[in-house]
Chains A and B, each alone.
Chain A
Amino acid sequence: SQKIEQNSEALNIQEGKTATLTCNYTNYSPAYLQWYRQDPGRGPVFLLLIRENEKEKRKERLKVTFDTTLKQSLFHITASQPADSATYLCALSSSASKIIFGSGTRLSIRP
């Protein structure tokens, strides 16, 4: 069955540093890989989407890489701020179908 692993349940880093989150998947060939942010008690908020034929995508302080050979995505937040503290969800999908979510990495940025 399809499986998504986000290799850290929690990540704690110093403000100003770059946070790097990892997502690995098996038994799936997604057309799209997405990253969402989720705050406690709230719904997921879309951040970035990268297609299977793209290697890297950037948006402001965010960067996503997608390696379909390794079946892995890396999500980077540069110049991290305490406001970036949240759970980040990796998600896979094909066309307009369901999104399959990972269990998330809880990121804490300490001042």
Chain B
Amino acid sequence: EPEVTQTPSHQVTQMGQEVILRCVPISNHLYFYWYRQILGQKVEFLVSFYNNEISEKSEIFDDQFSVERPDGSNFTLKIRSTKLEDSAMYFCASRRTDTGGSNEQFFGPGTRLTVL
């Protein structure tokens, strides 16, 4: 069964450094998402992406964040200058387009980001 994959599984970085989190969505999916989950808290929406542009973003997704689909398979989240409070699990998700308008999203296993 196809699944969303994410790399790395764990990223440790120093405050102020740039990180890029990578995702490979399910191959025939066209909607892509990033969510994050701070330890012990809710899963929170960051950004949605469709047709090579951001379709919606949350207040969390400020100028320090960016997303890109550099080729036909990868979807990346970049944090330009990490802060301690960026430490969280980051989940990539993707959605088919032939689900009759529903919003069933498939999530990857996550990247645990630790900012020191």
Q: Chain A interface (Cβ within 8 Å of chain B)? A: 31-32, 34, 36, 38, 41-46, 49, 51, 89, 93-104
**Chain B residue nearest to A102 in the complex (CB):** B42
* A73 CA to B16 CA, complexed, in Å: 43
Q: Are B91 and A97 in contact (CB under 8 A)?
A: no
Contact at A46–B110, with CB atoms within 8 Å? no
| Contact, CB under 8 Å: A96 / B42 | no
Say whether, besides A96-B50, A101-B42, A101-B44, A42 and B110 are in contact (CB < 8 Å).
yes
Q: Chain B residues with Cβ under 8 A from A101's Cβ?
A: 42-44
Residues of A within 8 A of B103 (CB): 31-32, 34, 49, 93-97, 99
Q: Verify B107–A45 contact, CB threshold 8 A.
A: yes
Return A72 CB to nearest CB of chain B, in Å: 19
Are A97 and B105 neighbours in the complex by a CB distance under 8 Å?
no
B106 at the interface (CB under 8 A from A): yes
One of B31, B42, B44, B109 near A43 (C-beta < 8 A):
B109
Given contacts A36-B107, A101-B42, 13 further A-B contacts (CB under 8 A): A31-B103, A32-B102, A34-B103, A41-B110, A43-B4, A43-B107, A46-B107, A49-B103, A49-B104, A98-B45, A98-B56, A98-B58, A99-B105
